[in-house]
């Protein structure tokens, strides 16, 4: 009976770990933009935060509150792409999201959908600008063009 109980507890723990991993992973729907193109991701539970990995070993994802898709600086096939190693920077707006999009959405997509648009907002000290508040996470996550 004791062996059966131990086996059941181990099975439940293993199933719980798989559910937790699946909940934080798997193939997503559209998740990020790279140069105006939507990409899906393959979420993994790999967290590289506070590992001391050098910044140049990551590509940047700009996390944009108020926007459904974040913006990445690179994708597979781009020169210098780091294979899905990401450093996430949280962006704050000088006024609000709508004002920043109105000022820097150069292709009239309704979003900031390229690193160039986000970086233009970051260089703008005015009402339409934005500020990089810093790195909030580092992780591994492959991306797939839609």
- pLDDT tens digit sequence for 22-53: 335 678 889 999 999 999 988 888 889 888 88
CB atoms within 10 A of CB 24: 12
Using alpha carbons, select from 79, 68, 86, 63 the residue that is nearest to residue 143.
Answer: 86
Q: Are 47 and 139 in contact (CB under 8 A)?
A: yes
Q: Which of 8-22, 50-64, 96-110 has the lowest mean pLDDT?
A: 8-22
Q: Which of 3-17, 29-43, 74-88, 120-134 has the lowest mean pLDDT?
A: 3-17
């Amino acid at each position: 009976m004791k062996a059966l109980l131990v086996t059941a507890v181990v099975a439940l723990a293993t199933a719980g770990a798989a559910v937790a991993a699946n909940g934080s992973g798997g193939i997503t729907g559209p998740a990020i933009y790279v140069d105006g193109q939507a990409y899906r991701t393959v979420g993994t539970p790999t967290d590289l935060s506070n590992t001391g990995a050098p910044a140049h070993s990551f590509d940047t994802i700009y996390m944009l509150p108020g926007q459904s898709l974040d913006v990445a600086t690179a994708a597979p096939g781009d020169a210098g792409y780091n294979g899905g190693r990401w450093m996430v920077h949280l962006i704050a707006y000088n006024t609000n999201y709508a004002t920043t999009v109105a000022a820097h959405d150069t292709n009239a997509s309704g979003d900031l959908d390229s690193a160039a648009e986000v970086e233009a907002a970051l260089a703008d000290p005015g009402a339409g600008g934005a500020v990089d508040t810093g790195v909030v996470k580092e992780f591994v996550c492959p991306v797939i063009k839609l």
